[in-house]
Amino acid sequence: MVIGAWVAAALVAGCGTTPSSGGTPSTPAAEKSLILATTTSTQDSGLLDELLPAFTRDSGWQVKTLAVGSGQAIELGRRGEADVLLVHSPAAEEEFVAEGGAGSRRLVMHNDFVLLGPPDDPAGIRGRKSPEAMKRIADARAVFVSRGDESGTHAKEKTLWTKAAVTPGGSWYQSTGQGMGETLRVTSEKAGYTLSDRATYLTQRDTLELKVLSEGDPGLLNVYHVIEMTKKAGDRVRPDGAKAFADWIVAPAAQQLIGAFGTAKFGQPLFTPDAGADEAKLGQ
């Protein structure tokens, strides 16, 4: 099979670079192409569909987006497989930047996490602050569906359990290992509780039997940073592309797009632009 793979590689090596005849938009300048590893929330909410064409128009860079969990995105950065990251897992990000392979890390935007559950709320968490709500879910042994995929949302969930002094486990605690959209659906079908970013929830709430039961406390902030990778992470990293993207997304034009995104469809913006703001004062 390895031989087969080699033969196939030789046969198709040219096929990726020739302009496609199949009606797919061709990539005119393959050398000006960068890889963005980001979270499922930015893709599933539709934000990237809005931002990336504008970035390509402004800068000439083509972007290949890999929508994965924040943990996987950081791992791709660490291996030099991605040029720039847009992620929301601050503790893991700081650790990652401290390793030295990454370049600058800048604040881009935030939205917030919400605790969702069935409308009849058997664990009685409605209106409670997040740590107490988590404690009540655990005490009631109500079904809690975790992403379990080392994403930013999963990291936030683990922080909340720690704050609530609960070690989740047992049959009530279920882990999907999947993205937010799938996890929301599993939660809805099982009439359980879960933690979600607000953007993904809003884009899908019509198809879900889930209500926002706990929201608004500072522990539920969901902060996104852009991290540029450097050659230290790998020879083929494109720091110029990374810088172009990072500079662009914190500039006023992109920040305005971010702030406006979602208003028309959901009656409220899905993200709050934060470039240049003081992170310690977010959400106050």
Partner 1 sequence: MDVLLDGLADAIALLLSGDQDSWSIIALTLRVSLTATAIALLIGLPLGAALALARFPGRRVALAAANTGMGMPPVVIGLFVTVLLWRSGPLGGLELLYTPAAMVLAQAAIASPIVVALVAAALQQVDPDFRVQMQALGATPVRAFAALLGEARLPLLAAAMAAFGAVVSEVGAAQMVGGNLAGQTRVLTTAAVLATSRGQFSLAIAFGLILLLIAFGVNLSLTLVQQRRAVLR
Q: Does 66 bind partner 1 (CB under 8 A)?
A: yes
Binding to partner 1 (CB under 8 A): which residues in 216-255? 234-237
Single out the residue of 81, 121, 217, 247 in contact with partner 1 (rule: CB under 8 A).
Answer: 81
CB of 281 to partner 1, least distance (A): 33
Single out the residue of 32, 129, 185, 232 in contact with partner 1 (rule: CB under 8 A).
Answer: 185
Give the C-alpha separation, 183 to 189, whole Å.
10
Give the C-alpha separation, 40 to 28, whole Å.
27
Task: Using alpha carbons, select from 173, 162, 276 the residue that is nearest to residue 226.
Answer: 276
Q: Does 23 bind partner 1 (CB under 8 A)?
A: yes
Region from 91-99, 156-164, 175-183, 251-259 binding partner 1, contact rule CB under 8 A: 175-183
Cα dihedral: 38, 217, 266, 224 (round 10): -20
Region from 103-111, 165-173, 181-189, 272-280 binding partner 1, contact rule CB under 8 A: 181-189
With beta carbons less than 8 A apart as the criterion, state whether 163 and 134 touch. Answer: yes
Q: Is residue 106 within a helix (H) or strand (E), and if so which, with residue range? A: strand 102-117
Displacement of CA 142 from its chain's centroid (Å)? 27
Give the C-alpha separation, 59 to 253, whole Å.
13
How many other C-beta atoms lie within 10 A of the C-beta of residue 163? 15
Region from 155-163, 200-208, 212-220, 272-280 binding partner 1, contact rule CB under 8 A: 200-208
* Closer by beta carbon to partner 1, 35 or else 92: 35
Give the C-alpha separation, 204 to 139, whole Å.
29
* Closer by beta carbon to partner 1, 34 or else 142: 34
Single out the residue of 207, 240, 252, 253 in contact with partner 1 (rule: CB under 8 A).
Answer: 207
The residue assigned the tokens 């050398």 is 31
With beta carbons less than 8 A apart as the criterion, state whether 154 and 147 touch. Answer: yes
Region from 3-11, 124-132, 134-142, 269-277 binding partner 1, contact rule CB under 8 A: 3-11
Q: Does 25 bind partner 1 (CB under 8 A)?
A: yes
Residues near partner 1 (CB under 8 A) are 1, 4-5, 7-9, 11-13, 15-16, 20, 22-25, 27, 30, 35, 40, 43-44, 46, 49, 64-67, 79-81, 179-182, 184-185, 203-204, 206-208, 234-237
